[in-house]
Amino acid sequence: MNLTHLDEKNHPKMVDVSQKDITQREACASGKIYMSKKAFEAIIENKAKKGPVLQTAIIAAIMGAKQTSNLIPMCHPLMISKVQTQIEENKEEYSFKLFVNVKCEGKTGVEMESLTAVSVGLLTIYDMVKAIDKSMQITDIVLESKEGGKSGKYLRS
């Protein structure tokens, strides 16, 4: 089996996508952060000392999507056309679930951009309330779906 990110001398390389067709690409990822009741309530009641936590996390997720190629070595820079977020609150387990949908027209997919966006968004939540709860847990960062390209559609079952 040949690894696509290694050349014939076993050196790392970026995959050549120049021969691929430009198609509509879209991917959605999600992840969760669990916390104490006190931290959860500080976020819900907008009483975190660092400011509006969820709004800041959304901005961070958008920035994370845009910066993915600067963070992940073999990712191609992409012209992203859309980053959309959704945050679900779960009062029973004191958690937030962040969904990020990323879209572009390009020669390679946006799975890494959506996964990076979720990670950065959740890390921002952690950063903004860590003074209240250092035991927060970020979990279940997964690709929910993707469309476009040669491999077609994927939907997490």
Binding residues: 74-76, 112-113
Radius of gyration of the chain (CA): 18
Q: Which residues are annotated as a binding site for substrate?
A: 74-76, 112-113
Instruction: For residue 154, give every residue at least 6 positions away whose Cβ sits within 8 Å of its Cβ, in sequence order, or none.
Output: 143, 145, 146, 147
Catalytic residue of the set 7, 16, 21, 127: 127
User: Strand runs (DSSP E) across 72-134, as ranges?
Assistant: 80-90, 95-106
Q: Are strands 23-34 and 137-147 parallel, antiparallel or unpaired?
A: antiparallel
Paired residues of 12 in beta bridges = 6
The answer to whether 127 is a known catalytic residue is yes
Backbone angles phi, psi at 55, to 5 degrees: -65, -40
Positions marked active-site: 127
